[in-house]
Structures are given as structure tokens and as C-alpha cells.
Amino acid sequence: MERKLGKATRDAYGEALVEIGRTNPEVVVLDADLSKSTKSVLFSEKFPERFFNVGIQEANLAGVAAGLASCGKIPFISSFASFLVSKGFDQFRMGVAFSELNVKVVGSHGGITVGEDGASQMSIEDIALMSSLPGFVVMVPCDEISTRALVLETVKHNGPVYIRTSRPKAPMVHKVSTDFKIGKGVRLREGKDLTILANGFEVFEALEAAERLAEDGISASVIDMHTVKPLDADLILEDAKRTGHVLVAEEHQIWGGLGSAVATFLGKKHPCKMGFVAIQDTFAESGKGEELLEKYGLTCPHIIKAANKILGR
């Protein structure tokens, strides 16, 4: 499968913010001194009166956003996911989730593909933490098209949202015409032997794996499960019943992410053979993003190996 690189999802986020800012005067944007990296700087250049840099204090960033939301504003807050989620978690728990406020949280530089910056900058637990908060929507888009569409959708949703974006340029997966809705996965390929659910960079890897599996006579569905919470229960159940084998691929710690959510759901609704491609209870070292994906078992060959295992091949 041809790997055509588009923009980084963080770039698409920044561009979507500007688009939202033009049409919705209630939207305000805050950052923790990393706007050039998160790309919220694009909003600051167009709407400086609605942009606030709180400095390197992520917990305060979350608290200020809660205050603005309680006054009727729609705050989008950004920083590196590893800092924003870990340092702001108590404020997200009590100030945003418990208070049921309309705060949009965007964790940039997600996963291990942040690369050379090392383990301290890598968020491998952000999806688990944010999914644990009652009322939060949690999403991981895979390319610039899905990121833009899902950021626009968050404005329509009244409630807290967490979106993870990434540092490197992302392979193009979707067409501009694709319809994106919160909580609704996108089927990219239909199969009868195996279902692969993926998000983020793993969507392209899953598509590539499905093509190679087809050469061996294995028909695999591929679904972009961009929303981890709430899950698209109907789509997952439909595919699991048809194929009887479900493989989940994600750039996240194996505990508490998309795989855990899908396993919990199917364990209750339709137990079947499952496999999981994820970071295996370890921190990653510093290195190039593509090399780290390979080392920690998140590339196409590893998805193929996991697929063959659950299929008993």
C-alpha cells in the first residue's frame, strides 16, 4: 500500500482551530507555552484577543479552562499530552469532569512517535487516564482529514472532550468526503475472517497488514476506531459476529486503551478470539519514531503476526 504522507495531525488541529474561530466567537484557546509545537499558535495569530498562554503550568491551564467554560466560553486547551494529562489530571477530574463543563483538551505529541525526545515526553497512558473520567469523550484521529473533521465535531458536542494529536506527518488514509461523527467508527475495508480495529498511526499499518494478509487468502476488515469513548458498539458487534476474530492495534500502553475498552465490551456482548498490538507494559527509549514503532511491535509485520496467531496459523 502506498504511503502518502500528509500533514501531522497537530497541524490539522491548528488549522481547524482557525476555521472554528472565524465562525464561533465563544471559542477561546489556551496553551502552556508550547503553542508553536501544538500548533495553537495559528489561532493566536488570527485571534490574539481570544488566546491565552498560561505558561508552563498545566494544572492551572485546566483550571482556567474550567472557569472560562463555566462562563459560557468554549475553551480549547493544548500542550504535550504527557504533561497536560499527567499534571492536569486532578483538575480535569474535579474541575471539568465532575463539574460537567464544556472543555476541549488536546494532547499533542502523543504516543512514542514523538521520538528523540524520550520517555519523559511520550504519553503512553493518556487514553487510559482520560477514558477513566466520567463524561469525557476520547478520540485519536489518524490523519489530517479525520483530525480536522473531528475537531469541528467537538464544537457541536456539549461536554468535555480529549483528542490526542501527533508530532510526525501522518500517512493519508481518508477521503475528504468521509463522514466523521463522535462515537462512530469508519469501516475502511470489509472482510470475513478477521476484524482489525485501530486508531492513530496504527490505522495505516492495519490497512497495509490487511493487504498482505489478503495475499495469503485471509480476508480482514479494517475499522478506524477513532473514538475510544464512547465506542461504536454497533459496528464492533456487527463485525465481531461476522468474523469471530478481533485484533486491536494502538500506539498506547496495553493497559487501559482501545484494546481494553473493546475487550470489556466484547467480553459482555460477544466473546470471541482476540489479539492486541500495543506497547507491552514498558516505557520506550529515545529514537526515530518509525524505528520505535518497529522496536515496540506496532508496525505492519507485527499486526500480521498477531493476526495469524489468533487465526491459529
187-200 residue pLDDT tens: 999 999 999 999 99
Query: Is the pLDDT reported for residue 274 higher than 90?
Result: yes
pLDDT recorded at residue 1:
73
Determine the structural domain holding residue 34 and report its residue range: 5-171
**What are the Cα distances from residue 284, in Å, to 22, 72, 194?**
40, 41, 29
CATH code for position 247:
3.40.50.920
Indicate the pTM of the whole model: 0.97
pLDDT recorded at residue 313:
77
Please give the positions annotated as active site. Answer: 58
Are 195 and 138 found together in one domain? no
45-67 residue pLDDT tens: 999 999 999 999 999 999 999 99
Rounded Cα distance between 76 and 10, Å, is 13
Confidence band (pLDDT; 50, 70, 90) for 2?
confident
Catalogue the E-assigned strands of 54-160: 74-80, 104-108, 137-139
Average pLDDT of span 168-186: 97
Are 62 and 199 found together in one domain? no
* Domain presence at residue 177: no
CATH code for position 62:
3.40.50.970
Are 302 and 242 found together in one domain? yes
Average pLDDT of span 213-220: 97
Average pLDDT of the chain? 97
Catalogue the E-assigned strands of 233-294: 245-253, 273-279
Rounded Cα distance between 72 and 260, Å, is 35
In eight-state DSSP terms, residue 97 is I
Average pLDDT of span 28-37: 97
pLDDT recorded at residue 130:
98
Rounded Cα distance between 127 and 149, Å, is 20
Q: Based on the structure, what is the number of domains in the chain?
A: 2
Are 51 and 161 found together in one domain? yes
Query: Is the pLDDT reported for residue 74 higher than 80?
Result: yes
pLDDT recorded at residue 118:
94
117-148 residue pLDDT tens: 999 999 999 999 999 999 999 999 999 999 99
**Contact 173/205 with Cβ under 8 angstroms?**
no
Residue that finishes a domain, picked among 117, 136, 171: 171
Are 296 and 159 found together in one domain? no
